Amino acid sequence: MADSRKVGVLGGGQLGRMLIEAANRLNIQVNVLDAAASPAKQISAHDGHIEGSFKDASSVKKLAQACDVVTVEIEHVDTHMLEEVAGEVAVEPSWKTLRTIKDKYAQKEYLKEHGVDVAESEDLEGKGADGLKAVGERFGYPYMLKSKTEAYDGRGNFVVRSEANIDAAIKALGDRPLYAERWAEFRMELAVMVVKTKDGVLTFPTVETVHEDSICKLTYAPPRNVSKETTQRAQDLAKKAIGAFEGKGVFGVEMFLLKDDTLLVNEIAPRPHNSGHYTIEACPLSQYDAHLRAILDMPIPASALRLREPAIMLNILGGKTPDSHLKVAHKAYESPNASIHLYGKGDARPGRKMGHITVTAPTLSEAEKEIQPLIDFVDDQRG
Ligand code: ATP
Ligand code: MG
Ligand code: MG
């Protein structure tokens, strides 16, 4: 037994599942709080799991009582109970960090206060259609309307293209707490996984992310046609942003690289992140290994976060038929350098993250060549 401490995770989705894959290799028991057959629980047979919701205070308390360290794979959790139990069990990252980050507007105000550049934003809570119109006059069109809370995979975003679009925006998001962001004219999107340990802040390499309909589609490590100076600047900015928050673990930092090479932080995730999946095959330590080691105060050599080989990650989303995602996986079997991950989720709604594929190769162009037929196939399966 390498470690007798038990880790509790709020949430049992694919991130929890991949965290358990890493924990299993180290004999670390992970207790998951989520529904019975959640993806993470499927690969972890022991009686320490808790059945319930990570939004439910009593379930969170039950989990905390059964663990030495509590962490999250999703930020939309009950942070009040985490605050309450923080005296008895380690909560990593801090409940304060989770509370700030889970509200995207509060998160961005906090980043600004700490000298991190973000897109200009305006609070629209309670301001109705008039508020949206006034913001359109101030920011111009298009602008991005966003829900402050419960937002992921673009479910919570609406592009307001003109004044004529405001009714549709209200229809789509009107019952949620809203804010607006000025449109970022980005050249590309970059992301950095940051690791916060008891000793300091480390970073994985900078990657390029490609989103379609506000959902991550591809990750390129390293980014295409970006200078070393810029990738270093992105790592420095990510480090600065995460340095402003309390607690240990990995954090995903999404950024916009603007046409004039300026970097803005788009948003932060206080947990493993889609843009870090490539680390499983491409780096000596994955983001999941790093998260466990960080929250358990285990050693993390900085050079273990390096890129061993260029990599491209392609998400497998639910598509036009209920088995589209399985067809993509089958197609990938023919690809010699493709590592296929399926998440064990139930129904495949269009756009739902069902799995991913990572191709690594000695050069990025070789990886691009190998993954292109899979990208074409994914495009063909789109719902
Ligand atoms: P995630 O699944 O990463 O949590 P999310 O639902 O929180 O996503 P955002 O990260 O806010 O959504 O936005 C999703 C995508 O929409 C971004 O990656 C980017 O492509 C686009 N986007 C977001 N904000 C802006 C903006 N201000 N200007 C231009 N594009 C934007
Ligand atoms: Mg988000
Ligand atoms: Mg995002």
Q: DSSP class of residue 309?
A: S
Residue 42: CB atoms within 10 A of its CB come to 16
Instruction: Compute the mean pLDDT over every residue in the chain, rounded to the nearest whole number.
Output: 96
Q: Is 61 helix (H, G, I), strand (E, B) or coil?
A: helix
Take residue 286 and report the two structure tokens written for it: 């994955």
Mutation test residue for ligand 1: of 117, 141, 157, 219, the one with most atoms within 8 Å of CB: 157
Most confident of 153-157, 348-352, 372-376: 372-376
How high is the pLDDT of residue 288? Answer: 98
Tens of pLDDT along 61-97?
999 999 999 999 999 999 999 999 999 999 999 999 9
User: Does residue 217 line the site of ligand 1, with CB under 6 A?
Assistant: no
Rounded to the nearest angstrom, the distance between the alpha carbon of 216 and the centre of ligand 3 is 8
- The arithmetic mean of pLDDT across residues 196-217, rounded, is 96
What pLDDT, in 10s, does the model give residues 230-279? 999 999 999 999 999 999 999 999 999 999 999 999 999 999 999 999 99
- Please, which residues bridge with residue 253 across strands? 192, 268
Instruction: Judge whether residue 1 has pLDDT over 90.
Output: no
ipTM associated with this complex: 0.98
- Residue of 179, 266, 275, 356 to test ligand 1 pocket, by largest number of atoms within 8 Å of CB: 266
9 CA → ligand 3 middle, Å? 21
Residue owning the nearest CA to atom 17 of ligand 1: 214
Question: Model confidence over 188-198: pLDDT tens digits?
Answer: 999 999 999 99
| Ligand 1 pocket, residue 144 CB under 6 Å | yes
pLDDT at residue 164 tops 80? yes
In this structure, the residue with its CA closest to atom 14 of ligand 1 is 214
Alpha-carbon distance of 41 to 352, in angstroms, equals: 19
Tell me the percentage of the chain whose pLDDT exceeds 70.
Answer: 99
**Cα–Cα distances in Å, from 374 out to 118, 236, 274, 336, 370?**
34, 33, 18, 12, 8
Helix, strand, coil % over all residues of the chain, rounded to 5: 35, 25, 35
- Residue 357's φ and ψ, nearest 5 degrees, are -130, 135
Which protein residue's CA is at the shortest distance from atom 24 of ligand 1?
144
Measured in Å, residue 169 CA sits from the centre of ligand 3 at: 19
Q: Is the CB of 103 under 6 A from ligand 1?
A: no
**How confident is the model at residue 2, as a pLDDT?**
59
Residues 43-63: what's their mean pLDDT?
96
Determine the 3-state secondary structure of 58 from DSSP.
Answer: helix
Task: Please tell me the distance between residue 183's alpha carbon and the centre of ligand 2 in angstroms.
Answer: 16
Q: Does residue 157's CB lie within 6 angstroms of at least one atom of ligand 1?
A: yes
Cβ–ligand 1 distance for 149 under 6 Å, the answer: no
Q: Is the bond preceding residue 142 a cis peptide, omega within 30 degrees?
A: yes
What is the rounded distance in angstroms from the CA atom of residue 288 to the CA atom of residue 272?
Answer: 7
Task: Say what percent of the chain tops pLDDT 90.
Answer: 96
Q: What's the CA angle centered on 317, arms 314 and 318, to 5 degrees? A: 160
Give 266's contacts (C-beta < 8 A, 6+ positions apart). Answer: 118, 119, 184, 189, 254, 255, 256
- Write down the pLDDT at residue 159: 96
